[in-house]
Structure 1
Amino acid sequence: MTTPWQSYLSEQDRAVLARGKFGRRMGFGRRPAVVVIDAQKYMVGEAGRDADWPSSCGEAGRQAVAAIAEVVGTAQGAGVPCFFTLFEIARDGSDIGVYRRKRDLLDSEHWCLAGSEGAQLVPELQPAAGDVVFVKKKPSGFHGTPLLGYLVDRGIDTLIVTGGATSNCVRATVFDAASWNFRAIVPQEAVFDRIPISHAVSLFDMDRQFADVLPLAEVTAYLKGLKADAE
């Protein structure tokens, strides 16, 4: 698999990785779940109108949504639970916290304000019966949410993490997943970011320490195998 971070590594970097034996594969477990991070309209914008969507990740986001839909559809067909997070901020900014020190509260129906069009899940993704959709207020899908309890209840050992943005909420969720000793799998084509270097370096950091960054085809093949085994 061609990875987006390879061009950023020097020979010295590669030597450090080899010496420390970083990046070993952890592999899939027996009980996976899919976590879709913030695949909302404000994140992917609208072709030809991204200037109207202040947090749009543009075409990279829209391409990733197609890959996410493939992961979700395959998982649902195999009886694998899917969890969808939605990042929402109160219209008066009362729950934005320290984030407001880094960014303005945007008065736009195309942003992540609660009840806005931008806060809606993209239409390409449809939760199935048994899937769970919940709101989060911080980067990680674990922080202040019921996600951990749902995973424990279902005996989950592997999280397939998709969505955006790679350098923000995906990364935070993957690191927390590792802290809770879940195997974290990131389908490379099913995550997205606004800035290519942020995307590439974040994938590298996750793959180096806390997750397996894998081709989409390998992840969907694993999910299809679960369905075949069940039959």
Structure 2
Amino acid sequence: MKKQRYALIIIDMQNDFVLPDSPACVAGALATVAQIQKILETCRRIKWPVIHVIREYRADGSDIEITRLPEFREKKYCVPGTAGCEIVAALKPASDEYIIVKKRFSAFMNTELDIILRRLEIENIVICGTQYPHCIRATVYDGVSYGYNVTLITDATAAQTPEIASANTRDIRDIGVECVSTFYFVNNIAVH
């Protein structure tokens, strides 16, 4: 019997979303960095594929979601070539890790994510990053729709408030996604 294959997907852990006073700071994102570091170190040690998903927008806003355009015009974020667009230093990708650029909420929409996962024969995806009600949720739902077994690491996933995180975790759990802590992941899932 073929061993099940796993991959880690880290979403939008960029300076513009994580660092305090950045243009699109998510209040809970900085607090997740230490947890994501533990997960990342574990996945590197056991040789799981790691995929960093990031956002990039043209400086003129021509490729941003229409709902975000007014905000973007006031304070640009995730523009390639800026420090804000870079992944936070503590989670810097290794040379053999994938970086996928997305323009929409889901990491699957109009990206090569599904192609890469299928080429690597991945059946199980583990997701963390920022932020719950948007990019995390959209990616989780699309992952389920594409037929992947999805695990969400709850304390390594950010939201603006604990209430938003709790509501989204409940909804995500209700569709059959395994929602676990970093401790559980490192001591149970990652040992498969």
Per the normalisation by structure 1, the TM-score is: 0.77
Partner of 1:42: 16
Check 1:117–1:108 CA distance in 2 against 1; reply closer, same or farther (3 A cut).
farther
1:222 paired with 2:188, answer yes
1:161 paired with 2:127, answer yes
Check 1:63–1:100 CA distance in 2 against 1; reply closer, same or farther (3 A cut).
closer
1:150-187 CA-to-partner distances (Å, cap 9, x unmatched) read: 10011111110000101110000000000011111011
Check conservation: 2:52, 2:99, Cα contact below 8 A: yes
Shift of 1:71: 0.7
Taking the aligned partners of 2:92 and 2:78, their CA distance within structure 1 comes to: 19
Taking the aligned partners of 2:75 and 2:49, their CA distance within structure 1 comes to: 33
Q: Which runs of 5+ in 2 are unaligned?
A: none
Check conservation: 2:65, 2:104, Cα contact below 8 A: no
1:89 paired with 2:50, answer no
Partner of 2:5: 31
After superposition, where does 1:1-231 map in structure 2 within 5 Å? 30-46=4-20, 50=21, 53-58=22-27, 60-100=28-68, 103-106=70-73, 108=75, 111-222=77-188, 224-226=190-192
Check conservation: 1:112, 1:119, Cα contact below 8 A: yes
Larger Rg, first or second structure (1 or 2): 1
Check conservation: 1:175, 1:210, Cα contact below 8 A: no
Structure 2 counterpart SS, 1:86: strand
Check conservation: 2:61, 2:73, Cα contact below 8 A: no
Taking the aligned partners of 1:120 and 1:96, their CA distance within structure 2 comes to: 18
Q: Which runs of 5+ in 1 are unaligned?
A: 1-28, 227-231
Taking the aligned partners of 1:214 and 1:223, their CA distance within structure 2 comes to: 9
Taking the aligned partners of 2:169 and 2:41, their CA distance within structure 1 comes to: 24
Check conservation: 1:34, 1:160, Cα contact below 8 A: yes
Structure 1 counterpart SS, 2:90: coil
Check conservation: 1:161, 1:184, Cα contact below 8 A: yes
Taking the aligned partners of 1:129 and 1:118, their CA distance within structure 2 comes to: 20
1:129-148 CA-to-partner distances (Å, cap 9, x unmatched) read: 43101210000010011000
Count residues with an aligned counterpart.
190
Shift of 1:205: 0.4
**Structure showing the higher strand proportion among its residues:** 2
Q: Aligned partner of 2:9: which letter?
A: V
Check conservation: 1:159, 1:184, Cα contact below 8 A: yes
Shift of 1:70: 0.9
Structure 2 counterpart SS, 1:142: coil
Taking the aligned partners of 2:80 and 2:96, their CA distance within structure 1 comes to: 24
Taking the aligned partners of 1:81 and 1:44, their CA distance within structure 2 comes to: 23
Check conservation: 1:88, 1:136, Cα contact below 8 A: yes
Shift of 1:225: 1.7
Percent identity reads 25
Check conservation: 1:163, 1:170, Cα contact below 8 A: yes
Taking the aligned partners of 2:183 and 2:83, their CA distance within structure 1 comes to: 32
Check conservation: 2:14, 2:86, Cα contact below 8 A: yes
Shift of 1:210: 3.8
Check 1:175–1:189 CA distance in 2 against 1; reply closer, same or farther (3 A cut).
same
